[in-house]
Amino acid sequence: MPHRLLKPTLLFLASLTVISGAAISPALPQMHAAFKDLPHADFLVRLVLTIPALFIAILAPLAGLMIDRFGRKPMLVISLTLYGIAGTSGLFLDSLTHLLIARAFHGIAIAGLMPAVTTLVADFFSGEERNRFMGHQSAFMALGGMVFIIVGGWLADFSWRGPFLVYATAFLLLPVSMWVLHEPDRAAYQGAENPVMDKPFRPVVILMIYTSAFLIMGLFYMIPVQLPFYLRQDPSVNNTMVGIAIASYTATAGMLSLAYRWVRARWSFPWIYAMGFAFMGLGYGVVALSESYEQVIGGMLLSGIGGGFLFPNTGLWVAAVAPARLRGRLMGGLATSYFLGQFSSPFLLQPLTSEGSLGTAFGLAAIFMGGLALVFGLGHWYVKRLK
């Protein structure tokens, strides 16, 4: 019985990482109103969304090292418990400082949870089955994120604290994970006593993927961090509508991810990146030029097509090139890259949002992603000519 629940359990666990910030995104304007009398409230409220990413970025490599040394399941169980406790603390904390501290502990939990889950996927599956599962995982994360974001928006209409209830999902998954998941054979990954029999370590490729992951997450997080403020400039847009706008991205990305294994069977990793950045940039361009809520939704749908290519492509590329003896550490490094990009997003965009409009920020991001699409497209053809 447990083995039949292996894939669903891993899919639900993966979805917890994607809702770490997005679930509370629709409540940011209300949270700002609650703490508006504090100095720098505008920036600090945005930091509530992204501060977990700083701790994930710092601690994920250490978590990856511990995963390789002490096992996958112990790290997962500890992280899942902390995730639920720290995540739901927003239901009762009254101090913005205490809320930021709780969110930091939430980030520590994800620093262990994300590489543990991703490494288990790489351990349990290989080849075409891994391609298929990574596509399903990205789809499930996106569609699950859509549900949680809409629920978060609905709960935010009652109180800015409401969306923190979403994190109680961890308490439901904890007993299931302890029953279903088993520790993989350590001899398959621990120490790899004969590295000659393992894949060679390719640091240049890994660095390129990490850089791409940083940029992908930094650009994506413009949506949950900046879009609520952009949309709420229109008084007719409520929190539920904000949640639907953000969820339209995740829904589209999820549906496209289901087709990832067919995409991967036909195109190289760089070419998939090129297509992903092109669609995501096009969508941001539509948002920048939009004059109505419906046009923003259209931009989110186009961006979601790009996300459906980018996110599964990144994780699978690392899994494809990572030596077994370094798999946990390299997955931890990937988590660091993702969440360092997430944490950096408000800092990088603050000059644009303070000196200009949010529409201008989306427009400049669109141009930048068009450049990335060109770079990866040229890289694909260069590598192809060498063969």
Cα dihedral value 155, 53, 277, 314, nearest 10 = -110
pLDDT at residue 351 in the model:
65
Q: Give CA separation, 322 vs 27, 123, 319, 334, in Å.
A: 39, 11, 5, 11
Q: What is the residue-wise DSSP string for 239-289? A: HHHHHHHHHHHHHHHHHHHTTHHHHHHHS-HHHHHHHHHHHHHHHHHHHHH
Q: Is residue 195 part of a domain?
A: no
Q: Is residue 196 part of a domain?
A: no
More confident residue, 8 or 299: 299
Q: Is residue 43 part of a domain?
A: yes
Decide: residue 91, CB within 10 A, 0-12 exposed, 13-18 middle, 19+ buried. middle
- Percent of the chain at pLDDT exceeding 70: 90
pLDDT at residue 281 in the model:
94
Question: CATH number of the domain that 229 lies in?
Answer: 1.20.1250.20
pLDDT at residue 192 in the model:
46
Total domains in the chain come to 1
Q: Is residue 194 part of a domain?
A: no
Q: Is residue 101 part of a domain?
A: yes
Token pair for residue 38? 């504090």
More confident residue, 262 or 138: 262
- Is pLDDT at 386 greater than 60 in this prediction? no
List the domain range (segments joined by +) for residue 12. 2-189+201-386
Q: State pTM to two decimals.
A: 0.70
Among 60-64, 104-108, 113-117, the range of highest mean pLDDT: 104-108
**In this structure, is the dihedral angle defined by the CA atoms of residues 308, 310, 311 and 316, taken in order, positive or negative?**
positive
Cα dihedral value 277, 283, 286, 288, nearest 10 = -70
Q: Is residue 19 part of a domain?
A: yes
When pLDDT is averaged across residues 211-239 and rounded to a whole number, the result is: 83
Asked if 56 and 114 count as a contact pair (C-beta separation under 8 A), the reply is: yes
Among 14-28, 124-138, 141-155, 302-316, the range of highest mean pLDDT: 302-316
Q: Is residue 368 part of a domain?
A: yes
Alpha-carbon distance 180 to 7, whole Å?
10
Nearest to 283 by CA among 339, 220, 228, 351: 220
